[in-house]
Amino acid sequence: MERHIRTLDRLLKDLRVVEGDIARHALDDDAVQRLMTIPGIDVIVAVGLAAAIGDVARFTSAEKLVAYLGLSPSVRQSGNGPARHGRIAKQRRGQARGLLVEVAWAAVRAPGPLRTFFGRIASRRGQHVAAVAKARKIAVLAWQLLARGEDYAWVRPALQARKLRSLELRAGRPRRHGQRGAAYDYNIKEVRQRDRHAAEGAETANAKLTQGWRQSGPKKPRACTGVAKEERRSEAARRGRHLRAPLLAKRPPVRGGNLAGPAERGFSISSVVHGCRGSVSR
């Protein structure tokens, strides 16, 4: 037992060293700090997403990033028929997709427009579908922030300062005992309520904006009634007679006043159709 405990202690020390290296790298990475402004994303998730995305310039649009993470709906279509959308594709970066789903569940408790989006989808499709849809929304938001080089508009400053201070401590920065920095503001109740009130105002405004929205989807094909079917059949029959008309045209008379058919003139039925002359067995 003691031998196993010593092994676990050694592994924990190695993990702390690795976490310190990752934290020091994240302090110099603007993309990680920008992703941390999104509600529900902490240091670990931000580093994981930044590693999965890499250079955001390789994705020309947010839809490309969503498809890369496997959060785009699957599409089934045959020919010119209507496209049918199903569940998400679940392809490629499964770990990053799992991180985004966990962020979606965690961000439900945080006020803001994202919580309004979750509630709107959950009222129609259920919480699990809403969580996946919110994960896709967060992926689109991450692309927008990284591509434009901007922070999240409704970030809570005190909470963001606490996240950055936690990142500094993981990187091995010295502790400042007795000194109150920007991260200490999160411990003040009035400051927390002020930041939360601003986010709740954005949530209320977004709820009023989307209150009258209705779900829209692809147009459904027109129902085929009995009358419509008869019209299609008559139109197809008319076109068929028009195509067969040259073959059934009146044949010119031959010498002697008798009408000679294809067989009498030495042509078979297949020769008339295919344009080649052949003998007819008599």
pLDDT in tens, 115-144: 999 988 888 888 999 999 999 999 999 999
Q: What is the pLDDT of residue 221?
A: 54
Instruction: Say if residue 266's pLDDT is above 60.
Output: no
Single-letter amino acid code for the residue at 40: G
Judge contact between 182 and 161, C-beta under 8 A: yes
pLDDT in tens, 57-108: 999 999 999 989 988 887 777 877 777 777 777 777 778 888 999 999 998 8
Q: What is the pLDDT of residue 74?
A: 76
Place 56 in a pLDDT band, splitting at 50, 70 and 90.
very high
How far, in Å, are 11, 194, 259 from residue 93 at the CA level?
27, 38, 78
Q: How far apart are the first and last CA of the chain?
A: 103
Instruction: Say if residue 167's pLDDT is above 70.
Output: yes
Place 234 in a pLDDT band, splitting at 50, 70 and 90.
confident
pLDDT in tens, 212-229: 776 665 555 555 556 666
Check residues 185 and 226 and name the one with the higher pLDDT.
Answer: 185
Judge contact between 43 and 163, C-beta under 8 A: yes
Check residues 188 and 86 and name the one with the higher pLDDT.
Answer: 188
Instruction: Say if residue 191's pLDDT is above 80.
Output: yes
Write the CB contacts of 59 (distance below 8 Å, at least 6 apart in sequence).
Answer: 53, 65, 68, 143
Judge contact between 163 and 39, C-beta under 8 A: no
Q: What is the mean pLDDT of the chain?
A: 79
Place 184 in a pLDDT band, splitting at 50, 70 and 90.
confident
SS3 of residue 75 by DSSP: strand
Instruction: Say if residue 248's pLDDT is above 80.
Output: no
Q: By CB neighbour count within 10 A (0-12 exposed, 13-18 middle, 19+ buried), where does 249 fall? A: exposed
pLDDT in tens, 5-41: 989 988 998 988 888 888 888 888 899 999 999 998 9
Instruction: Say if residue 172's pLDDT is above 90.
Output: no
Place 50 in a pLDDT band, splitting at 50, 70 and 90.
very high
Residue that has been written with the tokens 């799992």 in this structure: 98
Q: How far apart are CA 100 and CA 141, in angstroms?
A: 12
pLDDT over 90, % of the chain: 22
